[in-house]
Structure 1
Amino acid sequence: MNAAALPAGVERVSRIPYRLLSWGVPMGPLTLLRTQGRRTGLPRTVPVVTLRHADLDWLVSPFGATQWVRNIRANGRAELGRGHWFRTVGLVEVDGETKLDVLHRYRRAFGFIPFVRHAFDATPGDGPSGFRTEADRHPVFLLQPRG
């Protein structure tokens, strides 16, 4: 099973926030996600957007089962942060109505970003149930603090 291919230009554009976040520059909901490579065991770091909803933090992969998603599925934990400050988190993949609600909120909150807007067929006006047909394409993880 191959990981999802990122849309053209996403990797190139993500270098800028990656660099700024690695220097410790705050960038709103953008943060660095550091996972352990499932085959190599080496650290892999990518910029991601965290969503705060219902007093919980969520990670959504708008581009499907990317490498970071596959690493999390293999390990269940990661680190989030910027600069030299990272915190360890557990990640639990969610399904069902909760997933639909999170996808709806994510698309509504970050739809102004062209890559996010184009990754979804459903729109905020469709409500959470409008995301049912594409829910399998967008993994959603609940973040849980770990010590």
Structure 2
Amino acid sequence: MSTPYYIRSSRLNTRFNSVVGWLARHGVSLAGTAEMSVRGRKSGRMQRIPVNPHTYEGARYLVSARGHSQWVRNMRAAGGGELRVGRKVHTFSAVELPDEEKLPVLRTYLEKWGWEVNQYFDGVTAKSTDAEITAAAGDHPVFRITVDDRP
């Protein structure tokens, strides 16, 4: 069995993500970033990571540019989490998309966030062919999220 695609964060990137997460917790969203919390599948503790929520055709998505990361594995187990920017915390449920439904979401995600994430897509960009993006889809989990905005 092959190992699922995953690009480990460098020390510099980990530090940068810590700063972005801290900013989101304190109400500063860089280009739409938020801090996501998801319950750890083994520890049971909430794990936090900065994410780039993406909207496509009115629905919201989370894309794992780095592949099958720990937050992805935790999301599969938990089925949802929280998004935070400052004091605004939104609980959400998450459903993972099958590879065949990812193409338009990944293309528009790369159009918006490619400047930050292209390095994790092994040469695939927003301008790549449908076949190239579809071939990369299995390496990049995508979750459709439904935010529960009830008081």
Aligned to 2:67: 64
Listed one character per residue, the Cα deviations across residues 84-123 of structure 1 (whole Å, up to 9, x for unaligned) are 321110010002442011111111111112xx01111212
Q: Identity of counterpart residues, as a percentage?
A: 29
8 Å contact kept, 1:104–1:127 = no
1:142 is matched by which residue type in structure 2?
A: R
Map of 1:25-40 to 2, 5 A cutoff?
A: 25-40=28-43
Listed one character per residue, the Cα deviations across residues 9-52 of structure 1 (whole Å, up to 9, x for unaligned) are 32121111111111122333200100001111111111000111
8 Å contact kept, 2:36–2:51 = yes
CA distance 1:126–1:5, change in 2 (3 Å): closer
Q: Distance in 2 between matches of 1:29 and 1:128?
A: 26
- TM-score scaled by structure 2? 0.87
Q: Which runs of 4+ in 1 moved over 4 A?
A: none
Aligned to 1:83: 86
Moved more, 116-125 or 85-94: 116-125
1:135 is matched by which residue type in structure 2?
A: A
Match of 2:17 among 14, 26, 34: 14
8 Å contact kept, 2:39–2:46 = yes
8 Å contact kept, 2:37–2:82 = yes
2:53 is matched by which residue type in structure 1?
A: T
The count of corresponding residues between Structure 1 and Structure 2 is 145
RMSD: 1.9
Kindly indicate whether residue 125 of structure 2 is the aligned counterpart of residue 119 of structure 1: no
Aligned to 1:133: 135
Q: Distance in 1 between matches of 2:50 and 2:77?
A: 19
Aligned to 1:105: 108
8 Å contact kept, 2:36–2:82 = yes
Q: Distance in 2 between matches of 1:128 and 1:53?
A: 17
2:79 is matched by which residue type in structure 1?
A: G
CA distance 1:75–1:13, change in 2 (3 Å): same
Q: Distance in 1 between matches of 2:62 and 2:38?
A: 13
CA distance 1:118–1:3, change in 2 (3 Å): closer
CA distance 1:2–1:105, change in 2 (3 Å): closer
Q: Give 5+ residue unaligned stretches, structure 2.
A: none
